[in-house]
Amino acid sequence: MKESLEGRTAIITGATGDIGAAIAQEYYKLGANLILTGRNEQKIKELAEKMPRNTDFVILDLTAFDAETKLVDYTIQKFGSIDILVNNAALIEGKLFLKTGNDFLHKAFEVNFFAPYRLMQKTLPYMLKNKFGRIINITSLAGETGDAGMSVYAASKAALAGASKSIAAEYGRRNITTNCIAPGIINTESTKFISKDYADNIKNQIPIRRFGKPEEVASLAAYLASERASYINGQVININGGLYR
Ligand SMILES: NC(=O)c1ccc[n+]([C@@H]2O[C@H](COP(=O)([O-])OP(=O)(O)OC[C@H]3O[C@@H](n4cnc5c(N)ncnc54)[C@H](OP(=O)(O)O)[C@@H]3O)[C@@H](O)[C@H]2O)c1
């Protein structure tokens, strides 16, 4: 069974972030056609320039009206099909429970749950047509364990995991697998704010004794996208160096 993604078309949201960029680079190496998304125009252009073959990008805010239709229509116009969807973009922001207002609650769910959900709905008909599909949703360890100050983020990721398992149950028989990757703590822009003392303390609780690398998440995302992962469906796969709280 093939590891290669040659001839496959993948949409990767949040490609301007460290994990999304690493997934894009891994898929590129494996020969996929790529549509990358993000809001930061400069970053996405710089990334796409490193991938001169069969790569394009769409700059868009996933919360904008009908963003998913625009993205899917563009992908079909460019490559004619969609085989792989990686819902990676997220609003990663903490707020204490009693300081969490309605606006933030809605915004975080819009980016972390409603947008990925709608994108799955829009891409699935093309996967059904291809008789092949790989949906990979990036969730989080926090979605399973919870975390202080992260009630909304954790809930949005748990919601995405629940939806993924249900979609997996509906469409597995059509050769469309839906899985989640739940990272622990990965060295990225979004974890740079962690203080050294706190980081050292957490690293001591991680059996591997370090944070993960975006490339390690990308390697799992590449496996799940390939034909080799054909019997993995409806799973939330932890990638966290053994960290459980
Ligand atoms: N880093 C970790 O330790 C960790 C742990 C657990 C789970 N995760 C998950 O891994 C994924 C990637 O995380 P990361 O650390 O690479 O994050 P990041 O560097 O903060 O990247 C987040 C990405 O999401 C995009 N994004 C955010 N809001 C958006 C919106 N409204 N519309 C469109 N795009 C939007 C950003 O685009 P722009 O920057 O272009 O606006 C960026 O590309 C996320 O799903 C996150 O929850 C990360």
What is the CATH classification number for the domain harbouring 194? Answer: 3.40.50.720
Binning the chain into helix, strand and coil, the percentages to the nearest 5 are 50, 15, 35
153 is catalytic: yes
For 125, phi and psi rounded to 5 degrees?
A: -55, -35
Residue nearest to atom 19 of ligand 1 (CA): 17
Give distance in angstroms: CA of 244 to centre of ligand 1.
22
Low-confidence ranges of the chain (pLDDT < 70): 245
Q: Which pLDDT does position 211 carry in this prediction?
A: 97
β-pairing verdict for 9-12 and 133-138? unpaired
Confirm whether 245 is domain-assigned.
no
Q: Which pLDDT does position 2 carry in this prediction?
A: 79
Confirm whether 2 is domain-assigned.
no
Confirm whether 1 is domain-assigned.
no
Residues with CB under 6 A from ligand 1: 14, 16-20, 38-40, 61-63, 88-92, 111, 138, 140, 183, 185-186, 188-191
Rounded to two decimals, the pTM is 0.98
112-124 confidence digits (pLDDT tens): 999 999 999 999 9
8-53 confidence digits (pLDDT tens): 999 999 999 999 999 999 999 999 999 999 999 999 999 999 999 9
Look at the chain and report how many structural domains it folds into: 1
CA 198, 201, 203, 206 dihedral sign is: negative
> Which range marks the domain in which residue 124 is found?
9-239
Give the E-state strand segments of the chain in sequence order. Answer: 9-12, 33-38, 55-59, 84-87, 133-138, 176-183, 236-239
Q: Which pLDDT does position 245 carry in this prediction?
A: 59
CA distance 140 to 161: 9
Q: Which pLDDT does position 116 carry in this prediction?
A: 98
